[in-house]
Structures are given as structure tokens and as C-alpha cells.
Structure 1
Amino acid sequence: MDPKTTFLSCDWGTSSFRLRLVERETLKVLAETSSKEGNAATAELWQQAQLPPERRVGFYLAIIQKHLEELEKEVKTFLDDVPVVISGMASSTVGMKEVPYKPLPFAVDGSDLATETITATTDFNHETLLISGVKNDDDVMRGEEVQLVGCRFESTAEEQLFLHPGTHAKHVRVQNGQAVSLKTYMTGEFFSLLSTKAILAASVEEGGKLGEGKNREWFEQGVRASQEANLLHNAFLVRTNDLFKKAGKPENYFYLSGLLIGSECHDLVANPPAGIMLAGEPALVELYGAALRVLGVADQCPVQTKTAEEVTLNGQFAVLQHHLNAPSNP
């Protein structure tokens, strides 16, 4: 496999690991492997191993090597010297090596993100580019900055919004080719806690789709209710919807989702950007797109959508290109 025409994309989050062999010209995924070996689980294994600190990077690279060998079996060729690009939590305190956050603003073409190069060794014969996260005075993100770069925002004076839904949803304002502000919303985590740990857990049921039955109707009702009353009161209605047989458990699941997503997007109603780039997992993108339409935000500004895989690969490759074209890397 020609290392000049491919690269290895590693998306290493807190709870999951994914490694892809990617063709540079088309960004086509040639092979892929994934597991639950996220940075949190790997950090726990590292602590249990009780090895000296200088072996930490090698310990984490051994995880990648194991998955890399799976890819080699799939494509039936060795992948020697193919560079690895890693984004996500691998550059955090629970990752292979902590790399300081890049302070806002940062260029949306990925040219000035904080990175660190790990040179190839006999044990791991791949140059590895580790991408760090971004911070402002009171907020941080790791991984989403690469996805923002992958959105390929145009440089314009009009304010654009990068909206990444997830456990900790990110809203990043973009202007004149720079990401200039960041806000994190714990929407996904709150939803998980309320739907699995709180009294509401008995009143919801996961598994349905937005387009099935009355799920969309209840989701939209939740979005509208989020603008009309306090979230702490609205959340209890999930309980009474079930108690009084107003909604089934699957419908309540979407009602609760609408409440939280609507609450997250509340500020966009009064202060919409010139455009929104909604990028993430397809199921979440569908929910957020529906919420933005219910709130009328989509009527005030165009909403574009992209998948998490697409923007991750675009962003990692953009950072890799800047690294390869830097004066010290002729």
C-alpha cells in the first residue's frame, strides 16, 4: 500500500475507538475496524499495568497496532509507513499523551490547530500526528474542532454556526475564516441520565424512529413546550404523560428528546446565525434538523447537514496536508 496515497484515520473518543484506512484523493474508506477500547478504558488498563510513564505512548500505540493488523488482513497487504492521524481524546489526560489545547480563535482550514508528531519506531513503524483540542476561557472541545475543519466553511464576514450534536453538544460560531466562540451543552448526557437513572426511566422506551407512529408529533410537542415553560417542570410531564396514559413510552422518549434539544437551541431563536452547519451522527442530525424547523430557525437561516464520518475524514486530511506541507516537512 502506497503511504503517499493513503492515511490511517484514528477517531479515538472517551468510550470508543475507530481506525480507518483512507484513500487520500477521494477520502474513500478502504477498510475499517472499531471497538469499545476508548481512552477511558485504555487509561484504566494503563493504570493497572503500573509501567513507567515513558512507556505510556507505546502502550497506547500497541492498541492501534492490534487494529492495524486487522486492516492489513482485510486489504491483504502490509501498511508499512502509512501515516496515522489521531483526533479525539487521545491528546487528553486520559489519552496517550496530553497536548495543550489551542486557544480560540483558530483557522477553520485546520492550519493552526495544536498538533504533536510521534516519530515511527521499530515497534510502530508509522509517523503519527496527534491533534489536540481547543479552548476558550471557560469551555473546551476535543475532536469536534477537526470535524469543524472538515465542514469546509467559506471565509465570509457573515456569522456561521457549527452545531455538533452529541453527549456534549458543541455550538461554535465561525466568522472570517476563524472559529471565534464556543459553547458546550450537556444535552446528550442529561438525556441519558433522565431516561435511564431518574424516575422518568420507567416512562420512556428507546428503540423507535422519528418517522414511526406519533413519535414526530410528540417530539415536536416537546420542542414547542421547551420554549413555553421551565425545563424542570416540563420534564416531570414525561412522568404524567405516562401516568395519565397521554403518551406511550416510545412517544415519551421523543417528547423528552424534544424538550432537551429545544432547550439547547433556545438562544438560536432570538439570535440566529447567517447559516448553520449541522454535522454528526445521522439519527441526531435528523432530530436537530426537525427541532430547528419547529423553532422557525431553519426559516431564518439555511441549515446544511453532513455526517460525522465525512467531516472527520475531511478534517483529519486537511490537518495532515498542512503538516506535510510545513517547511520542516518538505
Structure 2
Amino acid sequence: MTLKKFKQNLAALMVMLAVISWSCSELEQDLVVDQGSETGMSLVEVLKSIENGVGEDGQANARKSAVATYATFNAALGSSGLASVFARNELTVFAPSDAAFAALGLNPGNIKRLPNLREILLYHVVPGTVLSRDLSNGFVVTVNGAAVEISLNDGAKVNESNIILVDKKARNGVIHGIDQVLLPPSQNIVEVALGANPEFSILVDAVLAAGFGDLLATTNNLTVFAPTNAAFGELLEELGFDSLEELIDEDTGIGLAGLQRVLAYHVFAGRVFSSDLSDTTIRMFSQDELIIDVSGPSLIDLGDREANIVLTDIQATNGVIHVIDKVVLPFE
């Protein structure tokens, strides 16, 4: 496959995953729940109206009884120009308390200095109205584009942050309070792989040799099944090669086109998290089909060549990475 053909396939296959469905589940009983009726106030106005709980010093142990205040979050909305967006659109907001921002040295007076403030705020927002009874374990894509993980196994959490207030309703959505500021991923897929060196150094070398560096760094909504160095070492030994250079040799190896097809067989158009994986067959960028089998020990079923997913859900700004222990080949 040529690079031009790969780019054409990539453009044709770029589709967004459907918004993750959230099934019903119970939250912990010690959460603060809004018992009021529907309000005529917007999300921004409701946030401003919450006045009980945390003191002026921003200190609180608010989980069971007090209701946290959200002055810093509101100031951030104003500084970022997002207040009107939060007032007009139907949204579910996971709002960090003043105490959460204070833990990072932030307050209404200095919040505008926070780098990437707009992107951080959008990482706290999910489209539509999602009440506490609708929350379930799994990943949910935010307005930022990256996903947060909802966990109800050890208390109600968003990523590592505890949910301390639920179902504060507004005319255009609902607010759930949290006790930590959520920080979205800041590196693209290639940068994440480079940062994990030497674990993925051979994969990075292969990506650059194939001319796919820019594609994997700038294309949005990708899922990459990333083989480790040990996986590449096993493949080279299997095929009788001593190095990546020998593998992609045009005369004795698989050549550049072969390398491009192999790498494209590890990339899927769409963000697929571990909670989304099911027994199915998916079509990769190479146009070859890959069998996902979650019923047994191997999550990628290739007959005699099975690959295990050994680490899941490494988020990047433009997608998600799952680490696998074998290089999967489309032409076996």
C-alpha cells in the first residue's frame, strides 16, 4: 500500500464513535443530592447560587454534609469566554469545587493564568443531561474530545476525583460537583509513544520510517494497538531478521509498502476504550479485518498468533492507545 493510498483510506474511514450509552446505576448514599424541582436558572446561574459549605480559605472536608462553592469555576468560565456556552447549551458539568482549585494554588483572582484553561474546562463537560441514576462504569467522551472514566466501584468517581454533589439541576442541564480538577491529556499519540521510550522505541522508528509520523500525530479519533519492543523483537526473531532495517529491506524483507500495511493494521478509526471492546471483527486502516475476542485470555485472535492487550486506555490528545504483546500481521 502506498502512502497516498493510505491517506485516502484514512480520510474515508474517519468516523466518530457514537456517544457512549450510560446505563442506570446507584451512587453512594453519602453524596449530597439536590432535592429541588426543575429550575429556571442556567448552569452558570446555578453555580453562582451555591453558597453553602466551603469557607473563604477554600478549605473543606465536604463529602458528606457540606455543599462546596464554585466561585473559581465560574471565574474560569468568564475568563475563558465559555460562560455563554454553558448558559445556552444542554450539558452535564462535572464542576471542581473551590477547594479543588485551591489545592492547585488557584482562585478566582488567578485562574485566568492557568495554561490551556479553555481545554481544561471543556474536559469537565459532557453533552446532554446525565443524572446520577444514569451513571455507570466506563469511559465518556467530553466536549474537549478526550474521555473521562466513570467508576462506581469504590465510591462515585470521575477519573481520580470523588463526586461530592449530584443532580444540581438547571434549565439547560445538570451539575455534579467533584473534589479535584480534571486535567486532559496533553500529548498526541506519537508524543506519548516517544515519552514511553524505550518501551516503544522500535514502534516509533517504524512509524517514522513508514512516513506515518504526522498522520498519527495530527489525525483525530484514533485507536492504536501498540506493540512493545519485546513484541517487535519476537517478530524479528521469528522471521529471521536482526533489525528493523532488515525487516523493511525492499529485496529481502517486507519493504516499505509492507511496513506501511503492518502499521496500518494496528490503527482503527475511532476512539475505542477497554469498556467498549466486545467480541467482534473490525476493519483497520489497512482495510484488513481484525478479530477482537474478549471471552478468552487473548483479546486479539489471530489463530496461531494471538496477541494479548497488556495495558489499556492510555489517552492522547487525538486518540487512545492499547499496548499489545505481539505484532499483528495482516498477510499471514
TM range (shorter): under 0.3
User: Normalising to structure 2: TM-score of the pair?
Assistant: 0.26
Given the two structures, how large is their TM-score scaled by the length of structure 1?
Answer: 0.27
Larger radius of gyration: 2
The structure with the greater share of residues assigned to helix is 1
